[in-house]
Every structure is written in C-alpha cells, then in structure tokens.
C-alpha cells in the first residue's frame, strides 16, 4: 500500500487552547434557565455565560497531509493541533479585530452545534417512546486530558453518574485505549467496552436493563456468556513487534512515550519539545514503512499505528447496536459523546442513519459531523446526570439532590 494512502485524517487538540473560549464555569447555555434545569442538581447547574475571557488564537483548520512528504505533513498538523499554551499568551497581544473574530467564530460554531445541555428537553421528549443507548468515548470525554496517559483517571462523581446511566440504559465505552486499561479506569462491570478504537469489544451477554444481547456471543475465562468480538485479532503479533521497535527507536527523544493499546500502538508527543517533533515523525515514518498492513492516524498529541482494516469506532457502534438487538432505527435513540477525530466515524454513522444525538466535546470550534456540543467532561457529567434524573422521574423516583427542586 502506498505510504501516502496510509495516513488517515488528523485531529486537533483543543486541550491546550481551552483558554480561547470561556472556561468551563463560563458556559454558554440556557440550561440553567430552561424548564429542564430542574433535572440538574443545584451543584451541577451550569453557570451563565460571561464574556470576560477570550484570548488570542483562532483555532486552526484541519490541514491535509502533504502526500509527497509525510513527515512534513505530520509536522504541520502536529503544530496546527497545538495552539500556544495559555502561559504564552496574554490579553495584550490580542488586537480588537482578532478578539472579535475569535468570539464570532465561536458563536457561529455554537449556533451550528448547540449545547446538548440545551437539548435535554428535546432528547427527553424523543426518548419517551424509544430505547435510549449511551455510547461514550473515554479520554477528553469522561476524564480530562492530562500529560501522563497512565494518570487519566475519571472522578468518583463521574463513575457514579455513569453507574446510574447504566442502570437505565445500555451503556458502552468506545475508546482508543486497550480494553483492560480503560476498564481499570472505569471499573464498572455492567458496561460494554470497545477498546483499540472499537477493535476489541466485550460486554455482558445478558444485556443491560432488560435489553438482551443477541448473537456474537462467547464465554469468558470464568465460563460466563459474553458479547465478544475482535475483528483484528490476526494483528496481535504485529502490534507487539511494532511496540517493541518503537520503544527502542524513540528512547532518545525526550518526553516521547509509546503506549501499547493491544490492536493499536500509540506514540505520545505531548511532552516532547516542538524542536524534536520532526525527529519523532521521521522515526514513526521509518517504522510505518516497514508495515504495509498498518496505517497511521493522528489524535490529540498522538500518532497511532493501527491495522489498515475497515473497522473503526463507527463500526463498533453499529456492532453494539446489532448485538443489543437495537438495530430498528425507529425504536432506538443512540447518544454518542466524544471529543476526538476518531469519534467522527461514529458521528457519521448516526448522521447517515438519521438517528440519535451526536455530541462533540470541545472548547473550540472544530469541523465535525456531530450535531451538538459539550465543553468538557464536567459538562458531560451534567448532561448525563440530567438524563438520569429525567429517566428517574419517568419511573416516579425522585433523583437525589433534586427533591427540593420538585417541591418535595
């Protein structure tokens, strides 16, 4: 396979540019004032919008890789996806025109991708007659982006929110991480997990909340029935080889880290100085050239090797819907929340099928197939909590912390 066809689309990293737009506590949302605001516990209600904080950089557009020079292309996008950090900016280097342009860009984008917090009422209305299923990305969606990927813990509050979500709706985590690693972070046995960008799927065969899993079953090592699917199993040995090779080759690039994600291998450059990015990109290219069956994608400050097969998070979403017997589009309401370029495959599936709600987690304007937005994991939690509270009300149960709101 020609190298130029092996590089998939690229994704920006808004984590370091969250200062471009109002911070999480300065949410643009009318949720707090909508009738549905009562679904959010008081402590979780989003604050009103304040215009105080905008800083300098207009988010860069996703750039196409130069087909004749991969390293150069990667470098461009590595840079484009890394706007200056907060400490390198100050309000003084913002002239009024760029300040206004930045603000306008964000407002325009929010008009096209309104906050899902404002959509909760519509979602609840539609969900009354449908089976809701919840699909969640992990990094940047349930846990904040941090420098050390091994420390990307989600909060206990988030865990308890997801546990409640899963008591009402079939719930899955679809992540680039290896499945066992994400399970260690999430620690909820009742969920479905699709690791390695959907290439390693496992979940309870008995289904969730009365929704029975069907087909694609297997047994785990304790003899229990499970839903299990690994479409890239023949790549295990190759990925081990690539991992070992990369560990050796990047050891002299300060700050570089290689992560084995089972069916994918991830090279992190978040902690690599920019002047060393070209060295790292060259190493990656040299290794990639040796493996014609692998392709490369870029995520948030990562370059990832993966099997060049037609399988991604969107396919995993379809697979899970099918395994759960939720293919009937008129009865099903899938919600997919993610922050990364790789989540676009799942957004596209929902868009093409004309079902569900796709929600991008981002503090910056980004090209996306998602219809709605949330700013960060804290807003994701507020949204999920609102969903839980709505469903609890349906069942006649008063959500914790909401009693006073409903006059009880």
Residue numbers at the binding site for ligand L263DTV3 (CB under 6 A):
137-140, 145-147, 149, 152, 175-177, 259, 261, 266, 268, 270, 299-302, 304, 340, 342
- Tell the smallest beta-carbon distance from residue 302 to ligand L263DTV3 (Å): 4
- Tell the smallest beta-carbon distance from residue 48 to ligand L263DTV3 (Å): 29
Q: In angstroms, rounded to a whole number, what is the distance separating the alpha carbons of residues 181 and 19?
A: 30
Q: In angstroms, rounded to a whole number, what is the distance separating the alpha carbons of residues 85 and 101?
A: 19
Comparing CB distances to ligand L263DTV3, the nearer of 185 and 390 is 185
With CA atoms as reference, report the closest residue to 14 among 339, 271, 348, 359.
Answer: 339
Q: In angstroms, rounded to a whole number, what is the distance separating the alpha carbons of residues 264 and 258?
A: 11
- Tell the smallest beta-carbon distance from residue 147 to ligand L263DTV3 (Å): 6
Comparing CB distances to ligand L263DTV3, the nearer of 139 and 379 is 139
Cα dist from 154 to 145, 146, 333, 334, whole Å = 10, 11, 26, 23
- Tell the smallest beta-carbon distance from residue 138 to ligand L263DTV3 (Å): 3
- Tell the smallest beta-carbon distance from residue 82 to ligand L263DTV3 (Å): 10
Within 10 angstroms of residue 177's Cβ, the number of other Cβ atoms is: 26
Q: Which strands, in side-by-side order, build the sheet including 257-260?
A: 257-260, 265-268, 302-307, 294-299
Comparing CB distances to ligand L263DTV3, the nearer of 21 and 138 is 138
> What are the φ/ψ torsions at residue 289 (nearest 5 degrees)?
-60, -25
Which ranges in 36-178 belong to alpha helices (H)? Answer: 70-80, 96-112, 116-127, 156-168
Q: Which residues have CB under 8 Å from 122's CB, separation 6+? A: none
Comparing CB distances to ligand L263DTV3, the nearer of 6 and 300 is 300
- Residue whose CB is nearest to ligand L263DTV3 in the complex, by number: 176
Comparing CB distances to ligand L263DTV3, the nearer of 31 and 359 is 359
- Tell the smallest beta-carbon distance from residue 250 to ligand L263DTV3 (Å): 15
- Tell the smallest beta-carbon distance from residue 340 to ligand L263DTV3 (Å): 5
Which ranges in 128-213 belong to alpha helices (H)? Answer: 156-168, 179-186
Comparing CB distances to ligand L263DTV3, the nearer of 122 and 147 is 147
Measured over the CA atoms of residue 198, residue 322, residue 370 and residue 382, the dihedral's sign is: negative
Comparing CB distances to ligand L263DTV3, the nearer of 161 and 175 is 175
């Amino acid at each position: 396979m020609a190298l130029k066809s092996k590089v998939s689309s690229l994704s920006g990293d808004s984590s370091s540019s969250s200062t471009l737009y109002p911070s999480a506590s300065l949410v643009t949302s009318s949720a707090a004032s909508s009738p549905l605001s009562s679904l959010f516990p008081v402590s979780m209600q989003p604050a009103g919008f304040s215009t105080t904080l905008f800083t300098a950089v207009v988010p860069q557009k996703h750039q196409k890789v130069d087909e004749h020079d991969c390293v150069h292309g990667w470098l461009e996008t590595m840079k484009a996806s890394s706007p200056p950090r907060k400490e390198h900016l100050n309000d003084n280097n913002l002239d009024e025109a760029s300040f206004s342009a930045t603000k306008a860009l964000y407002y325009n984008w929010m008009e096209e991708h309104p906050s899902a917090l404002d959509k909760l009422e519509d979602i609840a209305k539609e969900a009354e007659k449908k089976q809701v299923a919840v699909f969640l990305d992990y990094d940047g969606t349930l846990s904040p982006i941090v420098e050390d990927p091994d420390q990307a813990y989600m909060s206990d509050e988030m865990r308890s929110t997801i546990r409640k979500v899963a008591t009402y709706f079939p719930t899955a985590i679809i992540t680039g991480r290896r499945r066992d690693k994400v399970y260690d972070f999430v620690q909820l046995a009742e969920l479905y997990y699709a690791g390695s960008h959907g290439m390693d799927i496992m979940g309870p065969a008995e289904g969730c909340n009365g929704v029975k899993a069907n087909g694609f079953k297997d047994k785990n090592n304790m003899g229990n029935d499970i839903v299990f699917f690994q479409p890239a199993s023949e790549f295990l040995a190759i990925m081990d080889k690539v991992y070992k090779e990369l560990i050796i080759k990047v050891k002299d690039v300060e700050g570089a880290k290689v992560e084995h994600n089972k069916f994918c291998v991830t090279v992190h450059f978040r902690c690599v100085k920019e002047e060393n990015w070209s060295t790292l990109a060259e190493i990656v290219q040299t290794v990639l050239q040796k493996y014609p069956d692998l392709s490369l994608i870029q995520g948030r400050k990562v370059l990832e090797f993966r099997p060049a097969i037609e399988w991604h998070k969107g396919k995993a979403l379809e697979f899970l819907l099918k395994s759960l017997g939720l293919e009937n589009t008129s009865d099903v309401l899938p919600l997919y929340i993610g922050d990364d370029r790789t989540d676009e495959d799942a957004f596209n599936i929902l868009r093409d099928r004309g079902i569900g709600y796709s929600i991008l987690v981002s503090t910056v304007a980004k090209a996306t197939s998602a219809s709605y937005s949330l700013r960060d994991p804290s807003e994701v939690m507020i949204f999920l909590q609102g969903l839980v509270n709505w469903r609890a009300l349906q069942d006649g149960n008063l959500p914790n912390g909401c009693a006073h709101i409903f006059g009880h």
